[in-house]
Amino acid sequence: TPAEPLEEKGQVAPYICQRRTPLLHHNSALTDALEIMAEEAKFSGSEVRSLAFSRAASVLKALPWKVERIQQLHTVPCIGEHSRRILQEMLEDGMSAEVEKVRQSERYRTMKLFTKIFGIGVKIASQWYQEGLRTLTDLQLHQIKLNKEQQAGLLHYEDLNTPVELWEAEAISQVVRQVIEQILPGATVTLTGGFRRGKPCGHDVDLLISHPSEGEEMGLLPKVISILDRQGFLLYHSFHRSSFLSLEDEELWVSGGSSTMDHFERCLSIFHLGDPAGSRPGATGVQKLGALWGLARRPVPESCAWVDLVVTPSSQFPFALLGWTGSRNFERDLRRFSKREKKMTLNSHGLYHLEQKIFLPAASEEEIFQHLGLEYILPEERNA
Ligand code: 8DG
Ligand code: MN
Ligand code: MN
């Protein structure tokens, strides 16, 4: 039986996956403040505190009205004491001294700078901070050791931290589509991640690749990457297993024991985009794509973006689509809801009933929501 839409009863549902969270909402000043606190908590190594602030921000994004007084939040779930205190400050004074102090702090600013280098997490960043490092130049001066991914992240720091626009994401999808069409006709390339949720820009491009007949997609990724690389589109790439899986999950979800390249389902790459002057957003779709093709052969990188390429067999496609569309907050609660409320394990490979010990197949995202007894939430409503 499908769940009742809670919002019709004037209540706000406790799980993010039971709520509709639009991209544009009525409480940005408040959610920005809470998200800074969430980030700061993460920087200090407190995941739990970070999650609490993040959940409080998410619930405010789902409210179809602007919060004016703290009393209005009386029946709204997921707002802890600390969040409430900050919201009260914001509502009464128009700003929160605590949030401002964080925003200005040297530690917060430095941690933000360092964690924006791809592959640098909180642990390494705070180590550097403790050693007295403060700028990207400091990293070079101290000849800090970095792995290949981090080096690429640092080398292209400015470009990679410049948001990717929708038209660029679409042009990249089109390039990948054309390459794949040569190797495996009928294969599909779907733009997922934030762009599928209606965001006009993002930090990367998430592409999901599949083929309607199961098994055809095997071994596709290395071939695609090698062609893209040969054509000069890639500044960097590395293959990964689909993460998010614990070792025991791995046995459950990933069949076939081959550990060859064929088994890598994901490739993280930096795509070369050409210079901004040659690829103006005003141009038509074909012109843009042409500019992209033409400029990509230039020797000097002018602009680039992270591209996440993921391959999925068709039977897992709806699960991968749901898993890679995000947002991260939405995904986290979807999995938490499945486990806690339905005794099911959900990931981007499938849905498993822990008590009945069966996999629940699905031909669409809608069917996955049905299995979970949840009302369907459109991608545009998953911006938690
Ligand atoms: P943005 O890039 O526009 O800033 O936002 P986004 O598209 O929502 O964020 P993202 O970091 O690109 O993540 C998109 C979704 O992909 C997110 O819901 C989580 C999911 N995801 C990863 N890494 C992995 C992974 O290794 N395995 C699986 N299954 N999902 C992943 O980001
Ligand atoms: Mn993304
Ligand atoms: Mn991504």
Q: Is 327 close to ligand 1, i.e. is its CB under 6 Å away?
A: yes
Token pair 């390039």 is found at 175
Looking at ligand 1, which residue's alpha carbon is closest to its atom 3? 202
Instruction: Spell out which residues have Cβ within 5 A of ligand 3, the ion.
Output: 204, 206, 308
Q: Which whole number is the average pLDDT over 304-316?
A: 96
Residue 326 pLDDT more than 70? Answer: yes
Annotated catalytic residue within 138, 249, 308, 333: 308
Evaluate: CB of 376 within 6 angstroms of ligand 1: no
Q: Is 7's pLDDT higher than 90?
A: no
pLDDT value for 11: 86
- Contact 206 CB / ligand 1 (< 6 Å): yes
The residue whose C-alpha atom lies closest to atom 25 belonging to ligand 1 is 243
Is 335 touching ligand 1 by the criterion CB < 6 Å? no
pLDDT in tens, 161-193: 999 999 999 999 999 999 999 999 999 999 999
| Token pair listed for 112 | 């933000």
3-12, 23-32, 349-358: least confidently modelled range: 3-12
Ligand that comes closest to the CA of residue 202: 1
SS3 annotation, the chain: CCCCCHHHHCCCCCCHHHCCECCCCCCHHHHHHHHHHHHHHHHCCCHHHHHHHHHHHHHHHCCCCCCCCHHHHCCCCCCCHHHHHHHHHHHHHCCCHHHHHHHHCHHHHHHHHHHCCCCCCHHHHHHHHHCCCCCHHHHHHCCCCCCHHHHHHHHCHHHHCCCEEHHHHHHHHHHHHHHHHHHCCCCEEEECHHHHCCCCEECEEEEEEECCCCCCCCCHHHHHHHHHHHCCCEEEEEEECCCCCCHHHHHHHCCCCCCCHHHCCEEEEEEECCCHHHHCCCCCHHHHHHHHHHHCCCCCCCCEEEEEEEECCHHHHHHHHHHHHCCHHHHHHHHHHHHHHHCEEECCCCEEECCCCEECCCCCHHHHHHHCCCCCCCHHHECC
What's the average model confidence in pLDDT over 300-304? Answer: 66
312 within ligand 1 shell (Cβ under 6 A): no
Which of 206, 229, 249, 262 is catalytic? The answer is 206
Q: What is the mean pLDDT of residues 232-261?
A: 62
Higher-pLDDT residue of 314, 253: 314
Tell whether ligand 1 has an atom less than 6 A from the beta carbon of residue 193.
yes
Q: Ligand 1 atom closest to Cα of 164?
A: 3
Which residue in 32, 93, 204, 249 is the catalytic one? 204
pLDDT confidence of 279, banded at 50, 70, 90? very low
Alpha carbon distance 274, 305 (integer Å): 11
C-beta 244 within 6 A of ligand 1:
yes
pLDDT above 80: residue 287: no
The least confident of 134-148, 242-256, 286-300, 327-341 is 286-300
Q: What is the pLDDT of residues 57-113, one digit of tens each?
A: 999 999 999 999 999 999 999 999 999 999 999 999 999 999 999 999 999 999 999
Q: Is residue 244 over pLDDT 80? A: no
C-alpha of residue 92 to centroid of ligand 2, in Å: 36
Write the CA distances from 315 to 170, 206, 267, 349, 361, integer angstroms.
25, 20, 20, 9, 8
pTM of the model: 0.89
The per-residue pLDDT for 273 is 83
Instruction: Please say if the pLDDT value at position 304 is more than 50.
Output: yes
More confident residue, 268 or 8: 268
The answer to whether 249 and 150 have CB atoms below 8 angstroms apart is no
What's the one-letter identity of residue 202?
A: G
What pLDDT score was predicted for residue 248? 47
pLDDT at 50 over 90: yes
Q: Which of 118, 203, 206 to mutate to test the pocket of ligand 1 (most atoms within 8 A of CB)?
A: 206
Instruction: Out of 268, 328, 368, give the residue to mutate to test ligand 1, the one with the largest number of ligand atoms within 8 Å of its CB.
Output: 328
Q: Which atom of ligand 1 is nearest to the CA of 266?
A: 26
Residue 254 pLDDT > 70, yes or no? no
204 as an active site residue: the answer is: yes
Nearest Cα residue to atom 13 of ligand 1: 193
d(CA 78, CA 58): 9
Query: Does ligand 1 have an atom closer than 6 angstroms to the CB of 200?
Result: no
Query: Considering only 22-31, 81-90, 273-282, 309-318, which range has the smallest mean pLDDT?
Result: 273-282
The two three-digit tokens of residue 296, written as one number = 């990509």
Does the CB atom of residue 326 touch ligand 1 within 6 A?
yes
Q: Is the CB–ligand 1 distance for residue 323 below 6 Å? A: yes
**pLDDT tens-digit series, residues 350-365:** 999 999 999 999 999 9
pLDDT of residue 251: 52
State yes or no: is 93 an active-site residue: no
Residue 206 designated active-site: yes
Instruction: Quickly state the pLDDT bin for 158 (edges 50, 70, 90).
Output: very high
* In the predicted structure, residue 302 carries a pLDDT above the cut 80: no
Q: What does the pLDDT look like over 130-157, one tens digit per residue? A: 999 999 999 999 999 999 989 999 999 9
> Is pLDDT at 299 greater than 80 in this prediction?
no
Cα(337) to centroid(ligand 1), Å: 19
CA torsion through residues 322, 325, 327, 328, sign? positive
